[in-house]
Amino acid sequence: MASFREIATNGLWKNNPGLVQLLGLCPLLGTSNSVVNALGLGLATILVLTCSNAAVSLIRRSVPDSVRLPVFVMLIAGLTTCIELLMHAWTYELYQILGIFIPLITTNCVILGRAEAFAAKHGVLHASFDGLMMGSGFALVLVALGALRELLGTGTLFANMQLLFGPAAAAWQLELFPQDHGLLLAILPPGAFLVLGLLIALKNQIDARLAARSAQPTVSTPVAERRVRVTGVIE
Amino acid sequence: MALPRITSPHTTGSNRTQRVMLQVLLATLPGVLTLTWLYGCGPLLNLLWASIVALSCEAAVLAARKRPLRFFLSDGSALVSAVLLALALPPYAPWWLTLIATGFAMLFGKHLYGGLGQNPFNPAMIGYVVVLISFPGAMTSWPLPEFVGPWEALQRILGIAMLPDGWSHATALDVLQHNHSLTFDELRASSPAFGRFGGNGQEWVNLAFLAGGCYLLQRRLFTWHAPLGMLAALGLMSLLFWGGSGSDSNGSPLFHLFSGATMLGAFFIVTDPVSGATSRLGRLIFGAGVGILVYIIRTWGGYPDGVAFAVLLMNLAAPTIDYYTRPRTYGHRKAERGFRIGE
Q: What local confidence, expressed as pLDDT, does residue B78 receive?
A: 92
Q: What local confidence, expressed as pLDDT, does residue A156 receive?
A: 85
> 3-state class of B310 per DSSP?
helix
Nearest to A188 among B100, B108, B133 (CB): B133
Residue of B nearest to A181 (CA): B135
3-state helix, strand, coil in chain A (%, to 5): 75, 0, 25
Q: Is B100 in Cβ contact with A188 (below 8 Å)?
A: no
What Å distances lie between residue A234 and A222, A225, B118, B257, CA to CA?
A: 14, 11, 37, 66
- Are the C-beta atoms of B105 and B81 separated by less than 8 Å? yes
ipTM value: 0.79
Considering only CB atoms, which chain A residues are within 8 Å of B108?
Answer: 194
Examine the pLDDT at A229 and tell me if it is beyond 60.
Answer: no
Number of domains in chain A: 1
Q: What local confidence, expressed as pLDDT, does residue B11 receive?
A: 65
Nearest to A183 among B108, B134, B136 (CB): B134
Each residue of A8-60: pLDDT tens digit? 888 888 888 889 988 888 888 988 888 999 999 999 999 999 999 999 999 99
**Number of residues written out for chain B:** 343
Examine the pLDDT at A228 and tell me if it is beyond 70.
Answer: no
In a domain, A128, yes or no: yes
Q: What local confidence, expressed as pLDDT, does residue B212 receive?
A: 95
What Å distances lie between residue B167 and A233, B161, B254, CA to CA?
A: 73, 12, 27
Suggest the residue from A180, A181, A185 to mutate for an interface test with chain B (most B CBs closer than 10 A).
Answer: A185
* Chain B residues 130-169 within an 8 A CB cutoff of chain A: 130, 133-136
Task: Identify the band that residue A231 occupies on the pLDDT scale cut at 50, 70 and 90.
Answer: low
Chain A touched by B108 (CB under 8 Å): yes
Each residue of A92-111: pLDDT tens digit? 889 998 888 999 998 888 89
Considering only CB atoms, which chain A residues are within 8 Å of B100?
Answer: 183
Task: Identify the band that residue A218 occupies on the pLDDT scale cut at 50, 70 and 90.
Answer: low
Burial A184-223 (b: 16+ CB within 10 A, else e): bbbbeeebbebbbeebbeebeeeeeeeeeeeeeeeeeeee
Q: Is B108 in Cβ contact with A183 (below 8 Å)?
A: no
Chain B touched by A208 (CB under 8 Å): no
Considering only CB atoms, which chain A residues are within 8 Å of B133?
Answer: 184-185, 188, 190
Query: Which range (A82-86, B15-19, B249-253, B323-327) has the least confidence?
Result: B15-19
In a domain, A217, yes or no: no
Each residue of A192-211: pLDDT tens digit? 999 999 999 999 999 999 99
Percentage of chain B beyond pLDDT 70 is 92
Q: Is B130 in Cβ contact with A188 (below 8 Å)?
A: no
Q: What local confidence, expressed as pLDDT, does residue B37 receive?
A: 92
Q: Is A194 in Cβ contact with B133 (below 8 Å)?
A: no
Mean pLDDT computed over B65-71: 86
Q: Is B108 in Cβ contact with A185 (below 8 Å)?
A: no
Amino acid at the residue B143: P
Residue of B nearest to A185 (CA): B134
Higher pLDDT, B179 or B275: B275
Percentage of chain A beyond pLDDT 90 is 45
Q: What local confidence, expressed as pLDDT, does residue B87 receive?
A: 93
Suggest the residue from B97, B121, B134, B140 to mutate for an interface test with chain A (most A CBs closer than 10 A).
Answer: B134
Query: Chain B: nearest CA to A29, how far in angstroms?
Result: 18
Mean pLDDT computed over B73-82: 90
Each residue of B195-205: pLDDT tens digit? 888 888 889 99
Examine the pLDDT at B164 and tell me if it is beyond 70.
Answer: no
Q: What local confidence, expressed as pLDDT, does residue B319 receive?
A: 93
What Å distances lie between residue B300 and A42, B142, B227, B267, B305, CA to CA?
A: 39, 21, 23, 24, 11
pTM of the prediction?
0.84
- CA dihedral defined by B289, B291, B294, B295, rounded to 10 degrees? -110
How far, in Å, CA of B127 to CA of A34, rounded? 25
Strand partners, B141: B170
Examine the pLDDT at B343 and tell me if it is beyond 60.
Answer: no
Q: What local confidence, expressed as pLDDT, does residue A170 receive?
A: 79
Q: What local confidence, expressed as pLDDT, does residue A27 receive?
A: 87
Examine the pLDDT at A224 and tell me if it is beyond 60.
Answer: no
Range of the domain at A53: 4-212
Considering only CB atoms, which chain B residues are within 8 Å of A186?
Answer: 134
Residue of A nearest to B138 (CA): A181
Percentage of chain B beyond pLDDT 90 is 48
Query: Chain A: nearest CA to B100, how far in angstroms?
Result: 10
Each residue of B254-272: pLDDT tens digit? 999 998 899 999 999 999 9
Q: Is A194 in Cβ contact with B134 (below 8 Å)?
A: no
Considering only CB atoms, which chain B residues are within 8 Å of A184?
Answer: 133-136
In a domain, A227, yes or no: no
Residue B246 has, within 13 A of its CA and on its CB side, a CA count of 4
Each residue of B100-146: pLDDT tens digit? 999 999 999 999 998 888 999 999 999 999 999 888 878 877 788 88
Which runs of E-coded beta strand occur in A73-178? 156-157, 174-175
- Domain definitions of chain B by residue range: 16-170, 202-323
Q: What local confidence, expressed as pLDDT, does residue B54 receive?
A: 95
Mean pLDDT computed over B208-217: 94
Q: What local confidence, expressed as pLDDT, does residue A225 receive?
A: 53
Residues B275-280: contacts with CB within 8 Å, 24+ apart?
Answer: B275/B119, B275/B120, B275/B121, B275/B122, B275/B315, B275/B318, B276/B226, B276/B314, B276/B315, B276/B318, B277/B226, B277/B318, B277/B321, B277/B322, B277/B325, B278/B322, B279/B322, B279/B325, B279/B326, B279/B327, B280/B223, B280/B225, B280/B327
In a domain, A229, yes or no: no
Sign of CA dihedral B303, B138, B116, B13: positive
Average pLDDT value for chain A:
86
